[in-house]
Homo-oligomer: A and B are copies of this chain.
Amino acid sequence: MPQQLTVTVDNVIFTVVGNALQVLLVKRAAEPFAGKYALPGGKLDTSNDKDGNAAATRILREKTGLAINYLEQLKTYSGDFDPRGYTVSMAHYALTYHQELSPKVKSVENAVWMPVEIVGDLSLAFIHKEIIDDALMRLREKARYSLLPLYCLPDQFTVAQYASVLEAILNKSVYPKTLLRRFELVNKDEDIIIATGTKAPLSPGQRGKGGDLYRLTKPIASINFSRNLME
């Protein structure tokens, strides 16, 4: 008689608001860990979810309704961290541009965007703090040698916006010059990040130049640079 074993999916959804990297958390209604914040997740439904990725996508849609720009598997956690029994949790992490949570999601799920510096001080459900730490480490590594953080921006973006997203992720200043050089590198053989020819509009009252807008012509998840930005 095989022991009870539950397979779940947990998602770490990142976005950047202003100068802060934030993570989506939902307040748990039921035991265990009722009242604590947790990652949006749920059970793998073997009759409907083709695989773990499909489960993650479904749960994000059902629980958050957010448009997700990028989703990838992070790591799988297993053991007895859930008092109800042995659990295997396939964790994913996702990137999206900043969106207000719909009032429904916000109230029914008690969902909030939580700055990552604050997450360290919270007591989270299950091993979700460990999962967030791992996702953060992965995001920070990839931010230094890929273009993934562009997925925290809307469709059209400026170099300055990209620098500011990177600064929120890496907690260090980044030279826009370097980022522009990377755009040129990427475009060497093929136009992948193209200037739209328009300038970013300034919000009312904002002074300054208004940066050149760029947009992607294709997915960039597999573009990696041979060097990292420095620590």
Contact surface of A with B, Cβ cutoff 8 Å: 2-3, 5, 7, 44, 46-47, 50-52, 73, 75-79, 86, 88, 90, 226-228, 230
Min CB–CB distance A189 → chain B (angstroms): 14
Q: Which residue of B lies closest to A144 (CB)?
A: B226
Note all chain B residues with C-beta closer than 8 A to A51.
Answer: 77-79
Note all chain B residues with C-beta closer than 8 A to A76.
Answer: 52, 73, 76, 90
Question: CA of A47 to CA of B88 in the docked complex: distance in angstroms?
Answer: 14
20 CB < 8 A contacts A-B: A2-B46, A3-B46, A5-B5, A5-B46, A7-B78, A7-B88, A44-B78, A44-B88, A50-B79, A51-B77, A51-B79, A52-B78, A52-B88, A76-B76, A76-B90, A78-B90, A88-B88, A88-B90, A226-B227, A227-B227
Min CB–CB distance A180 → chain B (angstroms): 20
Question: CA of A101 to CA of B91 in the docked complex: distance in angstroms?
Answer: 36
* Interchain residue pairs A-B with the least CB separation, the first 8: A46-B86, A76-B76, A51-B79, A51-B78, A52-B78, A3-B46, A226-B228, A227-B227
- Residue among A46, A79, A228 facing the most chain B CB atoms (10 A cut-off): A46
Does B3 lie within 8 Å of A47, measured CB to CB? yes
Beyond A5-B46, A51-B77, 10 additional pairs, beta carbon < 8 A: A5-B5, A5-B44, A7-B78, A44-B78, A51-B78, A52-B76, A73-B76, A76-B90, A78-B90, A227-B227
Min CB–CB distance A137 → chain B (angstroms): 11
